[in-house]
Amino acid sequence: MEFIKPTWADVDRMCLELAAKIRGFRPDWIVGISRGGLVPARLLSDILGNRDVTIIKIEFYKTIGQTSGFPNITQPLQVDVKGKRVLLVDDVADTGRSLAVAKEHVKRAGASEVRIAALHCKPGSIVKPDYYMGQTSAWIIYPWEVHEVERERKKMGK
């Protein structure tokens, strides 16, 4: 498995460029998908000048490259998005299954429009984000997860 490791500076640059793509869309709420989307959601909130940020938590990955059967929402949306424009934010659209579940969850909550932003998109993702910066088939190790990935790689004997 190939790995890429963007730096904090890379992430900051990607978020600035991603925000430039998003600027025509004015979300009422930015919803970060926990855990990977927390940092990009916060950075986009700052760059776009939108303080209305919340999260949903979806559990799907067991370890590097291994998913459970189906993405499970373990922390649902806690704000009223009825009639609102929502920007869902995650770090990567990998399989896209978590993004599909998240988008459907937000739509069921009554959002008038839901768009998706991610730093990266994998070629096989079933959901293509409306906004993303790069495409790769590598496993991406973001700066906010380096310790977790190191522990998982040790467990796997790598």
Question: What does the DSSP assignment read for 106-146?
Answer: HHHTT-SEEEEEEEEE-TT-SS--SEEEEE-SSEE--GGGH
pLDDT of residue 158 exceeding 70, the answer is no
3-class DSSP assignment, residue 1? coil
Structure confidence at residue 28 as a pLDDT band (50, 70, 90): very high
Segments forming the whole domain that contains residue 64: 3-155
Residue 61: pLDDT band by 50, 70, 90 thresholds?
low
- Contacts by residues 68-72 (CB-CB < 8 Å, ≥ 24 positions apart): 70/97, 70/101, 71/97, 71/98, 71/100, 71/101, 71/102
Segment among 53-57, 117-121, 137-141 with least mean pLDDT: 137-141
Structural domain total, the chain: 1
Contact call for residues 59 and 88 (beta carbons, < 8 A): no
**CATH at 81:** 3.40.50.2020
d(CA 119, CA 56): 18
Q: What is the mean pLDDT of residues 69-88?
A: 94
Task: Tell me the pLDDT tens digit for each residue of 100-133.
Answer: 999 999 999 999 999 999 999 999 999 999 999 9
